[in-house]
């Protein structure tokens, strides 16, 4: 079995790389050990939200332009500003082709509202979370209502409203809360609090009870100009249901990301995978790459957990296995490990120095910046210190950045995934 | 007492991704989903078996949850084991019939004319529906008038004329219902210089597991492990099977839920397309006749679980003239004997509705899938003809009159 490119990891970075390669006509296969961290994500793509001093950044590209001097090892510096711009625009177009519209505030950041009512600086948001209409409405100081449905355990409007009321941007906007009784029928008579967002989403996907839900929203928030709802308005059906709800209520409705499985993240996962299938890419879910065979300074093939002794060969490989959460990095009692190839992970020798003193430490946690170190061309160094010619690393497996403190995780995944694809094409002699 | 064989429930992060991809949870609110039925409830069941609840019966063991799990939790295995450890319901005669495929196959082929006619007769189906709880809507696969084993004994080609040998585990479906598929396997392997041996195999055990006959399934497992290991030693070659579910059982259900030591065969079993893919790459000339068809390919759940979809896709790609369209891998709903049970039949059909739409959207000449029960379901849902990938290969290998095109 031989592919042009084999991508290890089916998350944001791996899928972005695979899409770019499939577009260039490469035979690409993506191996994914279980579903990716997109299922736990907000569906917004952060680019650069906070500077090292903790100050919110409104102009992410200005900050990125200064990054080489500030953080020379940052993965963004392996991409370059032009590639980052191209990657973002490519990513947005690919999502749009599958009907997932991403909104950006020109080249500036905007804020999306979290389930806790904090405002998070981000670059792209699904247009059901933020869009021009919401942006303009905010100038007028709209009356905002945050609603949930009765018995839903995963979202607390009072908590969200309490934080929002303290925020300077909401000083002109009175924030109220309320509950709607979802008129959705459950044939078992199961109490509604047992439904997760995904269950509710499926009911909306079948276009059930849209009119009744609109009426319930009007009753719960008669005064509001703008209504925030937890993101449960369908996996695919939201594109029909949400505009209909707005039409019926006469209110602007936006979605708030919820606890996993996150519907906003799932929509992005679906869009990227559908697009990949449409471009002829092959996605193998549920199989974990566990090692590889190196010959003459090149990775010749890899082996997987389920595929057994047979090896999978490719001209190029992209390692996009994610961070600790996805198993791309593993913490052992005495050291950090990259489990597929045993790549070097530099970390503080003392385990107690891996973490900050507090859970929400203002100085963040050192381990968040640990990962695979690469050369200029995103090629990770093997245990002997030398890179392989045809193995590239992308996304959260990379060292040198702190996705939480910088609010940069999505952007790094998209940019380095895209950059890795370009490097593969370059290596093949293509001028992309 | 905690059984230490499968404590993977302890790796569960409670992320609920499995429930998103569970076709049964999607179809019915009666099933609380794999996370709740599996790792969540397992903790309670270990403490107190009384805490078992009968929603376990809705799990179809398709294993999509395990394919989706980012933490390697063997969710479906936990549910299957719990079903038969904690939750014993009275056995229905129907489940006995569905579970014992070799017994049914023996009588089905011996009395094929009668059985096939009876199974198609409205009044018989009506009575089966009322008294045995097999839904009258579900068509029965027809029994062959003779078994594959008998054909192989009387007409099977001599394997020793070929440089290489393989042991072929044909499974019950080929033996009793579709010996033609077994002949396709023999012909394609022969074209690649591989002679075929068979053993006195028993049912792999999957329908027995699904219906709670675990002791019998273990007996079958021991019999098959011993027979296949011996034959593979003699043949000096691998063990191949063209049924994705049989392959999964031999490789993973034996050491997993049945706890049988299969190391004597584990490394030698290959699902057929895995065995064929590299050989066809070396010998593209054996695929001499084009098969100019547009086909929709459905990847069965168990093949996806064992990472075998790449091989079948690779093999299909090599067939000259073929236009294969890969469908998004989703469960067809039948899950072996699950869709033959009246109380579960509506769920099975609801699960399959999405797949039906996707297939019809492709407007294929044929549908291709590796699993026999998926094939029954897809034929029933769409009215299209469904063939095994190796049948397409056989058409190309043999050429001429054997091809339907």
- From chain B residues 327-346, the ones with a CB under 8 A of any chain A CB are 328-329
Domains of chain B: 4-85 (1.10.1060.10), 286-402 (3.40.50)
User: Pick from A12, A7, A2: which is nearest to A411 by CA?
Assistant: A12
Its ipTM equals 0.88
Q: In this structure, are residues A203 and A241 in contact, taking their beta carbons and an 8 Å threshold?
A: no
Q: In this structure, are residues A203 and A184 in contact, taking their beta carbons and an 8 Å threshold?
A: yes
Give me the torsion for CA of B101, B103, B104, B107, rounded to 10°. Answer: 150
Residue B225 above 90 pLDDT? yes
CB contact under 8 A, A260 and B17: yes
Residue A190 above 70 pLDDT? no
List of chain B residues whose C-beta atoms are within 8 Å of the C-beta of residue A327: 70
CB contact under 8 A, B267 and A308: yes
Q: What is the pLDDT of residue A278?
A: 87
How much is the average pLDDT of A184-201?
Answer: 67
Rounded CA separation B22/B126 (Å)? 32
Q: What is the pLDDT of residue B330?
A: 83
Q: What is the pLDDT of residue B28?
A: 86
Residue B239 host element (H or E): strand B239-241
Chain A residue closest to B327 (CA)? A277
CB contact under 8 A, A285 and B68: yes
Q: How do residues B184-210 score in pLDDT, each as one tens digit? A: 999 999 999 999 999 999 999 999 999
Burial of B405 (0-12, 13-18, 19+ CB in 10 A): exposed
**More confident call, B400 vs A397:** A397
Rounded CA separation A105/A95 (Å)? 17
**More confident call, B246 vs B399:** B246
DSSP letter, residue A109:
-
Domain A2-98+266-427, what fold? FAD/NAD(P)-binding domain (3.50.50)
Which one is the CATH code of A130-256: 2.60.98, 2.60.40, 3.40.50, 1.10.1660? Answer: 3.40.50
Percent of chain A with pLDDT over 70: 96
* Max Cα distance, chain B (Å): 65
Rounded CA separation A382/A121 (Å)? 36
A196 to chain B, any CB pair closer than 8 A? The answer is: yes
Q: What is the pLDDT of residue A198?
A: 85
CB contact under 8 A, B68 and A1: no
Average pLDDT value over all residues in chain B:
90
Closest Cβ–Cβ partner in A261, A284, A309 for B310? A284
How much is the average pLDDT of B363-387?
Answer: 96
Rounded CA separation B288/B395 (Å)? 9
Domains of chain A, residue spans: 2-98+266-427, 130-256
Model confidence at B6, pLDDT cuts 50, 70, 90, reads: low
Q: What is the pLDDT of residue B388?
A: 97
Residue A404 above 50 pLDDT? yes
Q: What is the pLDDT of residue B397?
A: 94
Strand order in the sheet with B194-197: B194-197, B164-169, B239-241, B269-271
Q: Which two tokens stand for residue A427?
A: 């290596």
Burial of B160 (0-12, 13-18, 19+ CB in 10 A): exposed
B353 to chain A, any CB pair closer than 8 A? The answer is: no
- From chain A residues 290-349, the ones with a CB under 8 A of any chain B CB are 304-310, 312, 326-327
How much is the average pLDDT of A234-254?
Answer: 94
Q: Which two tokens stand for residue A185?
A: 């029928």
Chain A residue closest to B308 (CA)? A307
CB contact under 8 A, A34 and B310: no
Residue to substitute from A10, A195, A286, A301, interface B, most B β-carbons within 10 A: A286
Residue B5 above 60 pLDDT? no
CB contact under 8 A, A39 and B311: no
List of chain A residues whose C-beta atoms are within 8 Å of the C-beta of residue B19: 196, 198, 261
How much is the average pLDDT of B30-47?
Answer: 90
How much is the average pLDDT of A304-314?
Answer: 82
List of chain A residues whose C-beta atoms are within 8 Å of the C-beta of residue B27: none
CB contact under 8 A, A260 and B16: yes
Q: For the beta carbon of residue B52, count every other beta carbon within 10 angstroms.
A: 17
Rounded CA separation B187/B105 (Å)? 24
Closest Cβ–Cβ partner in A194, A199, A261 for B15? A261
Rounded CA separation B254/B260 (Å)? 5
B277 to chain A, any CB pair closer than 8 A? The answer is: yes
Residue B48 above 80 pLDDT? yes
For CA atoms A147, A149, A153, A154, give the dihedral sign.
Answer: negative
Q: In this structure, are residues A228 and A146 in contact, taking their beta carbons and an 8 Å threshold?
A: yes
Q: What is the pLDDT of residue B123?
A: 86
Q: How do residues B331-348 score in pLDDT, each as one tens digit? A: 999 998 999 999 999 999
Q: In this structure, are residues A49 and A135 in contact, taking their beta carbons and an 8 Å threshold?
A: no
Q: What is the pLDDT of residue B395?
A: 95
Q: In this structure, are residues A78 and A29 in contact, taking their beta carbons and an 8 Å threshold?
A: no
CA A143 to each of CA A119, A172, A177, A228, A372: distance values in angstroms, whole numbers, following the listed order: 17, 9, 11, 11, 47
CB contact under 8 A, A274 and B328: yes
Q: What is the pLDDT of residue B400?
A: 60
Q: How do residues A56-88 score in pLDDT, each as one tens digit? A: 999 999 999 999 998 999 999 999 999 999 999
E strands, B72-119, where? none
Rounded CA separation A52/A56 (Å)? 9
How much is the average pLDDT of B250-272?
Answer: 94
Q: What is the pLDDT of residue B405?
A: 46
Residue to substitute from B53, B70, B301, interface A, most A β-carbons within 10 A: B70
Closest Cβ–Cβ partner in A34, A202, A261 for B71? A34
Q: In this structure, are residues A409 and A396 in contact, taking their beta carbons and an 8 Å threshold?
A: yes
Residue indicated by tokens 């050192």: A366
Rounded CA separation B63/B300 (Å)? 10
Rounded CA separation A265/A257 (Å)? 9
- Nearest chain B CA: its distance from A7 CA (Å): 14
Pairing relationship of beta strands A28-32 and A2-8 according to DSSP bridges: parallel
B284 to chain A, any CB pair closer than 8 A? The answer is: no
User: Pick from A26, A24, A12: which is nearest to A282 by CA?
Assistant: A26
B68 to chain A, any CB pair closer than 8 A? The answer is: yes
Q: What is the pLDDT of residue A184?
A: 61
For CA atoms B117, B118, B119, B121, give the dihedral sign.
Answer: positive
CB contact under 8 A, A277 and B326: yes
A89 to chain B, any CB pair closer than 8 A? The answer is: no
Q: How do residues A261-303 score in pLDDT, each as one tens digit? A: 899 999 999 999 999 988 989 998 888 999 999 999 999 999 9
User: Pick from A424, A329, A429, A380: which is nearest to A75 by CA?
Assistant: A380
CB contact under 8 A, B67 and A34: yes
Q: In this structure, are residues A129 and A112 in contact, taking their beta carbons and an 8 Å threshold?
A: yes
For CA atoms A37, A43, A48, A54, give the dihedral sign.
Answer: negative
A353 to chain B, any CB pair closer than 8 A? The answer is: no
How much is the average pLDDT of A229-237?
Answer: 90
Chain B residue closest to A281 (CA)? B326
CB contact under 8 A, A202 and B30: no
Residue B1 above 50 pLDDT? no
Residue A15 above 90 pLDDT? yes
CB contact under 8 A, B307 and A36: no
């Amino acid at each position: 079995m031989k592919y042009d490119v084999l991508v290890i990891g089916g998350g944001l970075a791996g899928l972005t790389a695979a899409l770019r390669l499939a577009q260039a006509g490469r035979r690409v296969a993506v191996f994914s050990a279980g579903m990716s961290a997109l299922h736990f994500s907000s569906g917004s793509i952060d680019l650069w939200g906070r500077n090292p001093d903790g100050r919110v950044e409104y102009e992410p590209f200005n900050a990125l332009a200064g990054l080489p001097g500030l953080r020379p090892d940052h993965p963004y510096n392996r991409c370059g500003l032009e590639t980052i711009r191209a990657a973002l625009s490519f990513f947005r177009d690919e999502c749009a082709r599958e009907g997932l519209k991403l909104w950006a505030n020109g080249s500036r950041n905007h804020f999306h509202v979290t389930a806790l009512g904090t405002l998070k600086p981000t670059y792209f948001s699904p247009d059901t979370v933020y869009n021009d209409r919401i942006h303009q409405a905010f100038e007028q100081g709209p009356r905002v209502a945050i609603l949930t449905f009765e018995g839903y355990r995963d979202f607390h409007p009072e908590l969200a409203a309490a934080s929002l009321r303290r925020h300077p941007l909401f000083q002109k906007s009175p924030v109220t809360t309320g509950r709607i009784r979802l008129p959705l029928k459950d044939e078992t008579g199961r109490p509604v609090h047992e439904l997760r967002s995904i269950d509710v989403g499926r009911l909306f996907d079948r276009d059930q009870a849209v009119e009744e839900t609109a009426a319930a929203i009007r009753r719960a928030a008669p005064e509001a100009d703008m209504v925030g709802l937890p993101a449960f308005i369908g996996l695919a059906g939201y594109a029909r249901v949400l505009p209909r709800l707005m039409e019926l209520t006469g209110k602007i409705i936006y979605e708030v990301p919820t606890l996993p499985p996150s519907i906003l993240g799932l929509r992005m996962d679906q869009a990227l995978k559908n697009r990949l299938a449409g471009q002829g890419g092959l996605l193998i879910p549920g199989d974990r790459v566990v090692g590889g065979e190196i010959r003459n300074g090149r990775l010749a093939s890899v082996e997987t957990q389920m595929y057994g002794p047979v090896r999978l060969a490719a001209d190029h490989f992209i390692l996009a296995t994610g961070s600790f959460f996805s198993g791309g990095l593993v913490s052992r009692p005495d050291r950090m490990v990259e489990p597929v190839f045993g790549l070097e992970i530099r970390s503080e020798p003392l385990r107690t120095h891996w973490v900050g003193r507090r859970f929400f430490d203002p100085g963040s946690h050192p381990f968040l910046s640990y990962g695979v170190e690469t050369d200029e061309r995103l090629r990770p160094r093997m245990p002997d210190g030398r890179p392989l010619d045809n193995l590239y690393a992308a996304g959260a497996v990379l060292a040198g950045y702190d996705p939480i403190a910088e609010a940069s995780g999505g952007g790094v995944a998209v940019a380095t995934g895209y950059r890795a694809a370009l490097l593969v094409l370059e290596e093949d002699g293509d001028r992309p | 007492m905690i059984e230490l064989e499968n404590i993977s429930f302890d790796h569960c992060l409670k992320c609920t991704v499995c429930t998103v991809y569970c076709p049964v949870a999607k179809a019915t609110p009666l099933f609380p989903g794999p996370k709740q039925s599996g790792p969540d409830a397992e903790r309670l069941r270990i403490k107190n078996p009384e805490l078992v609840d009968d929603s376990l019966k809705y799990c179809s063991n398709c294993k999509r949850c395990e394919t989706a799990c980012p933490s390697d939790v063997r969710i479906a295995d936990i549910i299957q084991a719990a079903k038969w450890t904690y939750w014993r319901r009275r056995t229905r005669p129907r489940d006995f019939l569905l579970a014992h495929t070799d017994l049914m196959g023996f009588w089905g082929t011996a009395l094929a004319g009668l059985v096939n006619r009876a199974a198609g007769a409205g009044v018989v189906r009506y009575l089966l529906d009322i008294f045995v709880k097999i839904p009258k809507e579900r068509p029965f696969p027809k029994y062959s008038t003779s078994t594959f084993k008998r054909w192989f004994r009387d007409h099977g080609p001599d394997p020793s004329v070929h440089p290489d040998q393989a042991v072929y585990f044909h499974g019950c479906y080929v033996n009793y219902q579709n010996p033609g598929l077994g002949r396709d396997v023999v012909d394609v392997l022969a074209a690649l210089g591989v002679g075929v041996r068979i053993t006195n195999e028993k049912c792999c055990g999957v329908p027995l597991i699904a219906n709670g006959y675990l002791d019998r399934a273990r007996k079958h497992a021991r019999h098959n492990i011993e027979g296949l290991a011996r034959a593979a030693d003699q043949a000096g070659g691998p063990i191949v099977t063209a049924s994705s579910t049989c392959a999964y059982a031999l490789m993973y259900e034996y050491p997993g839920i049945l706890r049988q030591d299969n190391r004597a065969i584990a490394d030698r079993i290959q699902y057929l397309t895995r065995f064929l893919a590299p050989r066809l790459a070396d010998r593209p000339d054996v695929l001499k006749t084009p098969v100019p068809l547009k086909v929709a390919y459905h990847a069965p759940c168990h093949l996806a679980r064992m990472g075998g979809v790449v091989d079948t896709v690779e093999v299909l790609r090599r067939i000259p003239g073929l236009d294969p369209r890969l469908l998004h891998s989703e469960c067809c709903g039948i899950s072996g004997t699950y869709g033959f049970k009246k109380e579960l039949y509506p769920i099975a059909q609801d699960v399959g509705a999405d797949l039906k739409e996707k297939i019809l959207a492709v407007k294929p000449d044929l549908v291709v899938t590796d699993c026999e029960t998926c094939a029954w379901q897809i034929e029933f849902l769409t009215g299209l003809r469904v063939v095994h990938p190796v049948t397409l290969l056989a058409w190309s290998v043999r050429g001429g009159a054997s091809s339907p095109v």
